[in-house]
Structure 1
Amino acid sequence: MAEKPPEDGYISVVDEEPEILELLKWDTPQIQKQEERPCEQPPEKPKSPEKRGSKQETDPFDLAEPNFIETYRLSKDLARALIDDLKPLMPETTKTPDFTVDCKILAAISFYATGKFQKSVAGKTDPNITQYFVSTAVTQVTEALNHPTIVKKHIHFPHLRDERDVVKARFYMKYGIPNVVGCIDCTHVPIAKPDDDQKSHFNKSYHSKKVQIICDSDLTIISVDPSPGAHSHHGVLSRHAVTVDLKSLNDANEQCWLLGSAYYSVKPYIMTPIPKITKKSPVSPEKHYNTLHAQAHTAVTDAIKHLKSRWKCLQSTCNKAYDPPMVSMMIVACCILHNLCNRRGLPLCPMTQTEERLEAMKQKVANGPISKKLNDDTEGVRVRAQLMERLWNERRVAPELPKKRMSKKDRILEAHQSQAPPLPPHPAQMAPPPPQAGPLLGMDDGSKRPRLNMPAPHAHAHTYPLMPPAWGHYPPHH
């Protein structure tokens, strides 16, 4: 049954109390202040678009040059030139107009430099910049850097005679070894566990991609081969196109060879160190050859070290989220960026001691021990012997080595000898005094030893006794 509506003159006692209480509560100063606060907030609301606008206006090229190089490893002019080269090769973005090609390229370079996905690029903290965006940018920029026109522009093996002569001359001037067109070595870059062919990518410690790198005397990479292949160093080189070029040059009576480590077999086109020669071995033509070879081969080891210190995504302890084909393209992309920085002479971002120690340990485990069954070529051994004889005949004068560190006993003896007064000459070696007209002062007879006549001391002067002459540990001879 529906209730009757209240009459117009009816006043409810139950409803009257809450209204009065509400009025009394609102009348208190505390409630008035609380009610006034919302009225003061509206002027603060427009701050959010201002913040958003300031973040959108943040430009990485507004950073100081040292900060920009520290973040992106490239200088500003190199970054702009790279953006101009890659823009025609990258797809345009229509969904998010704020994330331009420039933003993608800088995001990818930042990932190469740190090896980690960043949630902010160029100072932006927009929620749309996520790990997915950075991963997509890395994929697109890596594919653009692997375009044949970009690779040929920045990684070039000296195929012309004039180019080879320049490389040979610089090696000879720096290290004293003739006819060297490059140093070669391999390194390992981590990958995600592949679905197929896992055995060829597993190196007893982790899954990796074996990369062959050839560089010149200026640490510029002139050849890189990140494709999968044989496990041995020489197996990777034997199927590379550089081998065909070097063989044809040597057959045409132009001596050209690479300098390889002990993991390679000696061939007419690759010179390796002579085994069983240590630092304690006596001086010989073999040891002299190994010394020069080791000095020159540091070019490729330093180039690999600089490559991984600049672009940490290639280190053995960094990200392992990409499959082998993508890692191969990333290696080529980082080699291109390395050459850009190296030719411009940009500063390095060195590894920490922990990173350097872990990298060396991982590489040593991945390479394994040197094989004792290397197939040395007889012609290669003959060419190496000729080179060894030439280096021995043209050897340079070695600089003086620093003195060995003396023991504590020798240092004390040397200090005592330096502080001791010099020994007087032997009486037999003393020249007789020249003859004079009269007797000398303080000398009664010319045949006797002279006597010193000391002046009388003053009253307040200090007197010091005369010490006998120091004759050393042996008595004077008569």
Structure 2
Amino acid sequence: MAARLIAAVMIAEEMEREGRQNLVIIRRRLRDSMNPFDIAEEEFIRLYRLPHEGARRLIEAISPHLQQPRRRTRIPKSIRILCCLNFCASGSYQRRIGQDYLNCMSQTEVCKSICVVTRAISNLLLNEWIKFPTTDRERNRIKRRFMEKSNLPGVIGALDGTHIAIVPPNTAREHIYLNRKHFHSKNVQVVCDYDLRILALNAQHGGRSHDSHVWRTSRLREYMRTTYWLGGSSSWLIGDSGYPQEPWLMTPVHDPPEGSPEARYNAAIILARNCVERCIGVWKGWFRCLRRDRTLHYSPEKAGQIINCCAVLHNMALYYRVPLPQAILEEDINGQRNDNFYIIPAEDGSTIRRRLIAQHFR
């Protein structure tokens, strides 16, 4: 009796093993028979958020840096990259991504592809596609756009924060990712120009951190401060009233009288800041894995790489003029004011703001 039971178990295991091997072969044949680049441009953009040309450029840029297994059923690098793009665009579960007729991959391979490709894009392309303006020519171009659209001079970028939901991390520091709305997230600092192009990104902080804390500890603030003291006193970022007023960061005046120069200044800064809200909305509209209802089921570190990857893809999509999606508008978790924020020497910032109002909004 025992021998029969053992034999039956061995037969079942052998059949299961053969079934897995056959499934791998079937997936390979399906992949070999399908070429994602054969589908129409419109459908390709819907699946991957890039046109054929942009996807080919991306594949050429990172393929040499991806390891390729030597096994006979190995998955082509191009399929791995497109699988990752499909995940970023849809935010679907890994098993669902693998079952797509253009991918034909197991859940395990989808997971590997997402991790490898997002890391490669984050490490190799982030500095190429996410660039803060450092030359007079770049700054003047951005200033002109803001001036044309909002009548606010000197602006080289709009600043805001957004929360990207993640699963509760299995770490002793889990509490730093729990935000005020009682879900776990990363608080991502975004700076963009008026044309919605992301100029700077900081995805290192947990959801518990306020926007102002993320800004105060950022390398970008240190760069702006250094530039100011070296003579760059005619350029600044703009933020909402949750940020401190600084010489290099203009914020609204609190509760100005109606019809006053300060009120006109506030109207201009609100109009100018609208671009960063639209940028974040379009970003999450293109890449649904960033939406709150598509929580990232990854560690905070891997989630940060996915966020960086999606920022690169966002700028690439703008470069290739991909039609803008319907923007995703989400609740401001941090709120507008932060009166308990540690104020750095604010006299200079307030003086510059008063001079700006006196010169341009009288």
When normalised by structure 2's length, the TM-score is: 0.85
CA–CA separation in structure 2 for the residues paired with 1:303 and 1:51? 38
Contact 2:296 2:303 in 1 (8 A): no
- Corresponding residue of 2:251: 272
CA–CA separation in structure 1 for the residues paired with 2:231 and 2:27? 70
Q: Which runs of 5+ in 2 are unaligned?
A: 1-24
Deviations 1:289-329 (A, max 9, x none): 01100000011111111110000111111033101001111
- Corresponding residue of 1:385: 354
Contact 1:146 1:333 in 2 (8 A): yes
- Corresponding residue of 2:313: 337
Q: Which amino acid counterpart does residue 334 of structure 1 have in structure 2? A: C
Contact 1:214 1:300 in 2 (8 A): yes
Deviations 1:369-420 (A, max 9, x none): 6323343711111111111112214xxxxxxxxxxxxxxxxxxxxxxxxxxx
CA change 1:81–1:384 in 2 (3 A) is same
1:75 and 2:54 correspond = no
- Corresponding residue of 1:242: 220
Name the SS of the counterpart of 1:217 in structure 2. coil
CA change 1:125–1:242 in 2 (3 A) is closer
- Corresponding residue of 1:417: none
Q: Which runs of 5+ in 1 are unaligned?
A: 1-48, 394-478
CA–CA separation in structure 2 for the residues paired with 1:125 and 1:303? 30
1:221 and 2:190 correspond = no
- Corresponding residue of 2:164: 189
Match of 1:207 among 181, 184, 200: 184
Match of 2:238 among 259, 283, 301: 259
What is the CA distance between 1:170 and its match in structure 2?
A: 2.1
Q: Which amino acid counterpart does residue 223 of structure 2 have in structure 1? A: D
**RCO greater where, 1 or 2, for CA within 8 Å and sep 6 or more?**
2
Deviations 1:426-459 (A, max 9, x none): xxxxxxxxxxxxxxxxxxxxxxxxxxxxxxxxxx
- Corresponding residue of 1:138: 114
Deviations 1:346-390 (A, max 9, x none): 113326xxxx4xx62xx43x3246323343711111111111112
- Corresponding residue of 1:290: 266
- Corresponding residue of 1:370: 337
Contact 2:188 2:204 in 1 (8 A): yes
CA change 1:52–1:256 in 2 (3 A) is closer
CA change 1:88–1:121 in 2 (3 A) is farther
What is the CA distance between 1:153 and its match in structure 2?
A: 0.9
Deviations 1:95-136 (A, max 9, x none): 35451100100100000011112344662475xx12111111
CA–CA separation in structure 2 for the residues paired with 1:386 and 1:89? 51
Q: Which amino acid counterpart does residue 384 of structure 1 have in structure 2? A: R
CA change 1:104–1:392 in 2 (3 A) is same
Contact 1:93 1:100 in 2 (8 A): no
CA–CA separation in structure 2 for the residues paired with 1:209 and 1:70? 27
CA change 1:55–1:271 in 2 (3 A) is closer
CA–CA separation in structure 2 for the residues paired with 1:334 and 1:50? 31
Q: Which is worse superposed, 325-334 or 236-245?
A: 236-245
Q: Which amino acid counterpart does residue 357 of structure 2 have in structure 1? A: M
- Corresponding residue of 2:280: 304
Contact 1:103 1:122 in 2 (8 A): no
- Corresponding residue of 2:10: none
CA change 1:91–1:50 in 2 (3 A) is closer
CA change 1:392–1:99 in 2 (3 A) is same
Q: Aligned-residue CA RMSD in angstroms?
A: 2.3
CA–CA separation in structure 2 for the residues paired with 1:242 and 1:178? 20
Q: Which is worse superposed, 105-114 or 238-247?
A: 238-247
When normalised by structure 1's length, the TM-score is: 0.65
- Corresponding residue of 1:174: 149
Contact 1:107 1:138 in 2 (8 A): yes
Contact 1:212 1:226 in 2 (8 A): yes
CA–CA separation in structure 2 for the residues paired with 1:132 and 1:370? 45
What is the CA distance between 1:144 and its match in structure 2?
A: 0.4
Name the SS of the counterpart of 1:317 in structure 2. helix
CA change 1:335–1:198 in 2 (3 A) is same
CA change 1:349–1:392 in 2 (3 A) is closer
Q: Which amino acid counterpart does residue 242 of structure 2 have in structure 1? A: Y
Q: How many residues align?
A: 330
Name the SS of the counterpart of 2:200 in structure 1. strand
- Corresponding residue of 2:210: 232
1:110 and 2:92 correspond = no
Name the SS of the counterpart of 1:212 in structure 2. strand
Name the SS of the counterpart of 1:227 in structure 2. strand
1:150 and 2:119 correspond = no
CA–CA separation in structure 2 for the residues paired with 1:51 and 1:367? 46
Name the SS of the counterpart of 2:324 in structure 1. coil
CA change 1:373–1:94 in 2 (3 A) is same
- Corresponding residue of 2:21: none
